[in-house]
Structure 1
Amino acid sequence: MSSSLPPEVRRLIAATLVNTFGNGVYAAVGALYLTRIAGLSVAHVGVGLTIAGLVGLIVSTPLGVVADRLGPNRAYVVFLLLQAVTMTALTQVRSFPLYVAVAAVTAIADSGQRGAKGALIAGLAPADQRVRTRAILRVTTNIGMGVGMGLAGIVLAVDRREVYVIALLANAATYLVTAALVRWGMPKLPPVPRATGPSGLTALRDRPFLVFVGLDGLLSMHNAMAQIAIPLWVATATDAPTWLISVLLVTNAIAVILLQIRVARGTEHLAGAAQAGRRAGLLLALACAVLAVTDVTSGAVTIALLVLAAIVHVLGEMLQSAGGWGISFELAPAGAQGQYQGAYAMGHQLGDLIAPFVLTVVAVSWGWPGWLLTATIFLLAGAFIPVVVRRARSDSDGLQQVAELPGGGEAGPVTADRAG
């Protein structure tokens, strides 16, 4: 899978596997640790995560500037080490205020490492391999998370405080190992001096790019759709067996592992990336429409439609990811990959904040009208992405590729690459 990539990129893939293995362990045990062992209420955990999400959203772009100024390697290592500290501190949480403080610092570290990692990918991988590298890393993430969540079953089965603490400390250790792989296994990318690099506010002044970030954030609500809305819909609004929830989640994970790299082909260029965003909105809208139909079906028909919706959904999910990677890399000016990757991450953070409300209160609670309204949101968000990208490229004097975007003129060589 990665044989044609530079050795330093393969090292980054190995680091990602280690990191996401630990994240998978925590994803499976974190909520139970906080409520059963640390003594927090479910409401406290929810409020803490919301506050942390807002903090991460606010600092994402400024920390991307830090990555540009320090150099992606150094910044990535610093934020990984900070995550190791906060994960260790989590083992000492016994009160809500302390949990909020730890969660907020964790969000800062997570936002910082996202921007730094994006800049590192942009610097290590050849321009035409950046999106493919992102796709491989997403596959790696799914594998690492899956293995971690699987092994976390042992922790959940034992269900004792000391075992939960060991799991959290094991996750902290994976941050240290990841930092070591980055620190000593990759060439050091030079920092961008303040005097010669773009202003630290460049991304936040780039209005077309920020509009793209918002639209991409709306599309990224597909994460909560798969993990929250569809399971709730299956369990509360259909007559499908609850075991089907696991089937749908496994289908999603397997599809990403098998198809993400293939789906990402052609999105290295703005033409293919913009098309991917539009098609992602269309597919996610179609998945919502299929789910709306299950409000009035029953038996085997409902099961078949739910499986169809899951397949269409994951195709849209993969296209949204690939299109977003391509656009965020291509629209970033030289010397500003860190801050643009940080700004790009804001869209996903925004999507994570609003998705639970939109998808539970509107889609699940309102039934088929709610799903059709959600479908409209996805459809419009995807449809406007090519328009915004044309404007962004025009503003940065890249007029040659504007003509190649959907609806922007005659097909050119980039379109031919996409078709291939």
Structure 2
Amino acid sequence: MTTSPAETSAPSSAVPESGGGLARAVRRRLHPDPTVRRLAAITLVNTVGNGLSLAVSVLFFTRVLGLSAAQLGFGMTAAGLCGVVASVPAGRAADRWGARRVLVTLTGLEAVGTAGYALVHSYPAFVVLACAVAAVDRGSAAVRNALYAEVLPADRRVAGRAYLRVVTNAGLCAGTALGAIALQVDNRPVYLTAIVANAVSFLFVAVMYRRLPVLAADGPSARSDAEGSEAPRTKRRNPALRDGPFLVVTVLNALLCLQFAVLEVGVPLWIVHETDAPRITVAGTLIVNTVLVITLQVRATKGTEDPATAARVCGRAGLFLAASCVVIGLAHGLPAIVAAVVVLGGVVLQSFGEVLGQAGGWALSYDLAGERAHGAYQGVYNAGTAAALMVGPALVSTAVIGYGLLGWAVLGAVLAAAGLAMGPAVRWAGRRGRNA
């Protein structure tokens, strides 16, 4: 989606008087950078479709495709593994052929794959398709992060990603609300419509990416012409896989990303099975987290342009996450209302840790990367995140929930250690850069 200069700079007086207040309120919410606004529009379309699909996918797979819970679990695990593996080559492809070109291709393939679910009639076909879609999806995530390095100046990448994460949360909420309508209707045609609508959203996103200009930038990563043509780059070994400090930061960030399994799996299971808190508290935790992320994510990026500061931000994130684990664990055995308040307090701490950890992690993923190899570095970094998202639910549901407060305390210690270890890892990276 493109925006003309006239559209971005029109004065308030140009708006009709009857709608002037609303227009000014909307403008205040828009990002001042036109490139970020374009990316925000793409993100909104993408996440509304994803939210719709996430809301209905489990029932679609089990009730429409007829899969058992065990079959679905195995298929999703296999798909998650494929997503981990796909991130690295996708990032390398972005360096070789340009992130925008690769992302348009992957997004188009994801549209086809998602629509393909409507044609699946056997379990082997489902597993193959799920693996293909997951590989394309996680590959797209790595390439998308590399694209941000190509279209945004270095000093605005992290703040831009924070703004896009706010849009992501808003889009997922809107898509989930649409999905709730589909769940209420609860029939095969509606579920198929939701899946196909998500596929169509990917097509729109592919077109919007295709029209996104890859801006010329100072330095070695600049494009060769004003129209953003993306020339192939020279083949060489993946530098990210030979960068020891970066690999350590990737692992530490993956450990911090276990927090998402805490919120999405651990907290609901804990509330329902191990506390007397009302079950509606599960929805309350998601609402609290979403509101805090939308409110705080952009602010959390301030000052993270410096790698040492970003590492300290990750350290604070680890401490907040550790505290949240202990607080959530303490809800066991408390009266219903008190337990609900304690869990919600733990989720508030988790949300603080989340926005800080994401801000610091984004900054380090760019600051420690080679400027001409953002695809390779983002591919490796995204593989670590994908691995955490894959193993996190099983780890939290067994090793944490099964051991009660002790399990929560051990997980908290792991998260704190991961965050605090970012400082030494970044100092190692700094020494290696000076000695190179």
Aligned pair in 2 of structure 1 residues 134, 112: CA closer, same or farther (>3 Å)?
same
Where does residue 417 of structure 2 map in the other structure? 380
1:40–1:95 Cα contact (<8 Å) kept: no
Where does residue 427 of structure 2 map in the other structure? 390
Report the Cα offset of residue 2 of structure 1: 4.3
2:138–2:386 Cα contact (<8 Å) kept: no
Does structure 1 residue 344 correspond to structure 2 residue 381?
Answer: yes
Output the CA distance in 1 between the equivalents of 2:435 and 2:45.
39
2:98–2:232 Cα contact (<8 Å) kept: no
Where does residue 204 of structure 2 map in the other structure? 177
Where does residue 307 of structure 1 map in the other structure? 344
Does structure 1 residue 88 correspond to structure 2 residue 115?
Answer: yes
Output the CA distance in 1 between the equivalents of 2:266 and 2:57.
21
Where does residue 270 of structure 2 map in the other structure? 233
Is there any run of 5+ residues in structure 1 with no aligned partner, and where?
400-420
1:76–1:117 Cα contact (<8 Å) kept: yes
1:266–1:272 Cα contact (<8 Å) kept: yes
Deviation sequence 1:357-407 (CA, Å, 0-9, x none): 2211122111111111111111111111111111123222399xxxxxxxx
Where does residue 191 of structure 2 map in the other structure? 164
Aligned pair in 2 of structure 1 residues 200, 62: CA closer, same or farther (>3 Å)?
farther
Output the CA distance in 2 between the equivalents of 1:103 and 1:276.
36
Output the CA distance in 1 between the equivalents of 2:322 and 2:31.
36
Output the CA distance in 2 between the equivalents of 1:210 and 1:63.
17
Match of 1:320 among 317, 338, 357: 357
Report the Cα offset of residue 189 of structure 1: 4.5
Report the Cα offset of residue 37 of structure 1: 0.3
Report the Cα offset of residue 303 of structure 1: 2.3
Does structure 1 residue 3 correspond to structure 2 residue 31?
Answer: yes
Deviation sequence 1:50-94 (CA, Å, 0-9, x none): 111111111211110101111111111001001001001011122
Where does residue 13 of structure 2 map in the other structure? none
Output the CA distance in 1 between the equivalents of 2:323 and 2:253.
17
Output the CA distance in 1 between the equivalents of 2:207 and 2:412.
44
Aligned pair in 2 of structure 1 residues 271, 384: CA closer, same or farther (>3 Å)?
same
Where does residue 219 of structure 2 map in the other structure? none
Deviation sequence 1:167-204 (CA, Å, 0-9, x none): 11110111111111111232365546443x7x342111
Q: How does 1:100-139 map to 2 (within 5 A)?
A: 100-139=127-166
Report the Cα offset of residue 296 of structure 1: 3.8
Report the Cα offset of residue 305 of structure 1: 1.3
Where does residue 19 of structure 1 map in the other structure? 46
Moved more, 25-34 or 99-108: 99-108
1:22–1:170 Cα contact (<8 Å) kept: yes
Where does residue 335 of structure 1 map in the other structure? 372
Where does residue 275 of structure 1 map in the other structure? 312
Output the CA distance in 2 between the equivalents of 1:14 and 1:35.
33
Where does residue 214 of structure 1 map in the other structure? 251
1:200–1:339 Cα contact (<8 Å) kept: no
Output the CA distance in 2 between the equivalents of 1:48 and 1:122.
33
Output the CA distance in 1 between the equivalents of 2:148 and 2:164.
10
Output the CA distance in 2 between the equivalents of 1:65 and 1:377.
31
Report the Cα offset of residue 297 of structure 1: 2.6
Deviation sequence 1:262-290 (CA, Å, 0-9, x none): 11211222122111111111111000111
Output the CA distance in 2 between the equivalents of 1:328 and 1:388.
13
Matched residue SS, 1:241: coil
Report the Cα offset of residue 206 of structure 1: 1.2
Matched residue SS, 2:371: coil
> How many residue pairs end up in the alignment?
396
Deviation sequence 1:199-256 (CA, Å, 0-9, x none): 3421111121111111111110111111110011011111111111111110001111
Output the CA distance in 1 between the equivalents of 2:337 and 2:182.
36
Does structure 1 residue 266 correspond to structure 2 residue 303?
Answer: yes
- Amino acid in structure 2 at the alignment position of 1:173: V
Where does residue 58 of structure 1 map in the other structure? 85
Where does residue 414 of structure 1 map in the other structure? none
Identity of counterpart residues, as a percentage? Answer: 38
Output the CA distance in 1 between the equivalents of 2:242 and 2:114.
34
Output the CA distance in 2 between the equivalents of 1:190 and 1:216.
33
2:308–2:426 Cα contact (<8 Å) kept: no
Moved more, 129-138 or 109-118: 109-118
Q: How does 1:356-367 map to 2 (within 5 A)?
A: 356-367=393-404
Report the Cα offset of residue 340 of structure 1: 0.8
Report the Cα offset of residue 259 of structure 1: 1.0
Matched residue SS, 1:215: helix
Output the CA distance in 2 between the equivalents of 1:32 and 1:303.
28
